[in-house]
Structure 1
Amino acid sequence: MPLEHRRAPEEATDLGIPRLYREGLTQIATIVRDECAGDLAIDFHDNLDTTGTAPGDFLTFSAQSDAPELLNRLTLTGNRGDTTITVDFTPWEARATVSNPDNSARGAVTQIQDLCRKSGSRTRPRISWPRRGSVMFATGLALIAFVVVANYHRVLSPPANPRPPVVALFAPLIVGVAAGVWEGWNHGSRLAPILINAPRAERPTHWQKHQPTYIASTISLLVGGAIGYVVNQLPRVG
């Protein structure tokens, strides 16, 4: 008696952690639709359970007054006979799954994978300004404590020819490295796909987006270096 398979064979492909704008999302929807002979279902996973059936529905969805520009989750599905292609973007991963795969469906998934790879990866969730500011403040306090401890013996018994301590000269570097290590450690394990339902041309430049952070970081570096130098110039105690 032949065996029966109650579940169709599946192949899953990891799409990495892409950053996709409306152009990329539309291209993926077009690939799925063309591979599935015109069949396409888009689930925006919003609070109204909005769905679409055409690549152009990303623009239609954005025209709604309460439609989010940053999509938290998105699912695209197409059926061609017994073969089903599902592209699912969640807050944790991006994955393409094919049920009853054939070479044509595998080729479509490869196109989607290449598009996601070219879109740029290693993205991360947004970090709120209050949280970033608190981290910078804590790093500054740690640097001050480090400078004071490192120069304690100089304050009590200053040398004949005092020189700025090495730690004061490298204070900006210490702050930068500390902030970078903290951010990488805290957010490195929570990288996630970012889906932006807006044209790439409408997005702000990197400098416009991160200008407050750069300015605050520069001020923190300068203050840290100045504190290190001032501590070294304190008069002899006793």
Structure 2
Amino acid sequence: MEVVIVETDREAAVIAADAISRLFRENPSAVLGIATGSSPLGIYDELGRRVTGGELSLADARAFMLDEYVGLPEDHPERYRNVVARDFVAKVDIDRANVHGPDGLAKDVPQACASYEQQIRDAGGIDLQILGLGTDGHIAFNEPGSSLGSRTRIKMLTSQTRSDNARFFDDQVDAVPQHCLTQGLGTISECRHALVVATGRHKAQAVHQVVEGPVTAMWPGSVLQLHPHATIIVDRPAASRLQLASYYEEIQRGKPAWQGL
């Protein structure tokens, strides 16, 4: 896993957007995995700036969401399909019809999950997956204890995750749904490039465990240690518990400019 330590959220967003821009210059119809939450917002803003400025186009892109709440009505502002439409689609030139997500209102949940897996396979897999990192080490909604080989499925959210997400529901924990549909750790692990962004001191323990701890279901994001092309971009507060921080910085200083992320 490549660790990139930055000074600001803005720098993290620019570096991530550089990787995405490079991907779409090489393959305009590439498949992007998109995340919700606070971590990717700066990335979407930077991608939007580049699209508006004519530096980048996502017109031929396809995108797949990581997860969706179960049971939120179609018009709920925190339904992830609506969040993605607001925070990502509205800022770039992607065709909304090419943005896909799991069906949180499906009557047959197992079939909906299997169909979503097939959609990803039919698209040729995800080229670059944007990921956030929960304070308990979860990626997507794969909570601690999730199988490292899991596929898209229904999950019950932990109290910690519901508490973390209450800020999107007027700080009312009870308003946060208890269940979600989420890509599994096995599904995520099949992307060609996993790109994690984590900032803030409250993420420091999770960053340390995911990067330097054992590969374990107790810290689900640690599965990315086994990924052939995984990058985590962190600011200094989030990197504050990394034992090898100075080594990671030395690697970045000596990295060939042509290599990119």
**Which TM-score tier does this pair reach, normalised by the shorter chain?**
under 0.3
Q: Using CA pairs below 8 Å that are at least 6 residues apart, which structure has the higher relative contact order?
A: 1
When normalised by structure 2's length, the TM-score is 0.24
When normalised by structure 1's length, the TM-score is 0.25
| Larger helix proportion of the pair | 1
